[in-house]
Amino acid sequence: MKRTFDQAGVNDLQEEVLTATYADRLAMINFVMSDLVGFMLAYFDLRLSQIQYLNTMSLALKTELSIGIADSWNNNLAVDFQKESSSVDEEEDTPKDIILSRYNSSSTPPVTNSLLPTGYFSIRIVYRNTAYR
């Protein structure tokens, strides 16, 4: 079943991934790593503008997203995903910023008393025309 690409849809998919058998989770991780766009198309009901965005996304961003998602799931952690709603018609290609945060102890020096586990990855999608509250 395809999900809506929103907070609830992403949370639902992650619950499925993190409660799956190790073999099934590994298959999903491999899918994300090998074909992020294909993964998104297979699991989410995307609007045309979202599909176009995925297809024009830079290789660097696709790589960073796929590695961050895969690392989190491999460490049995959900990705911290936050997607604001657009304040204009959702069918319109609304300008947005994608903010990524990552903590991986193999590449980042240890932080004293850090609450972020190894593999922590955060994706935040912020629409530029969304009024701040």
Q: What is the pLDDT of residue 119?
A: 62
Confirm whether 28 is domain-assigned.
yes
Asked whether residue 17 is domain-assigned, the answer is yes
Mean pLDDT within 108-116: 48
Q: Hey, what are 56's tokens?
A: 């024009």
Structural domain boundaries, residue 48: 3-127
pLDDT at 130 over 80: no
pTM: 0.78
What's the pLDDT score for residue 112? 46
Would you state the pLDDT for residue 95?
72
What pLDDT was estimated at residue 115? Answer: 52
Q: What is the pLDDT of residues 37-96, one digit of tens each?
A: 999 999 999 999 899 999 999 999 999 999 999 999 998 999 999 887 755 545 555 677
Task: Count structural domains, the chain.
Answer: 1
**Is 61 part of a structural domain of the chain?**
yes
Is 80 part of a structural domain of the chain? yes
In the beta sheet, which residues pair with residue 96?
127
Please answer whether residues 73 and 38 qualify as being in contact, where contact means their C-beta atoms are separated by less than 8 angstroms.
Answer: no
Relative orientation angle of helices 59-74 and 36-43, to the nearest 10 degrees: 70
- The reply to whether 52 falls in a domain is yes
Residue 132 within any structural domain of the chain: no
Q: Is residue 133 part of a domain?
A: no
Q: What's the pLDDT score for residue 110? A: 47
Average pLDDT over residues 108-121: 55
Does residue 53 belong to any structural domain of this protein? yes
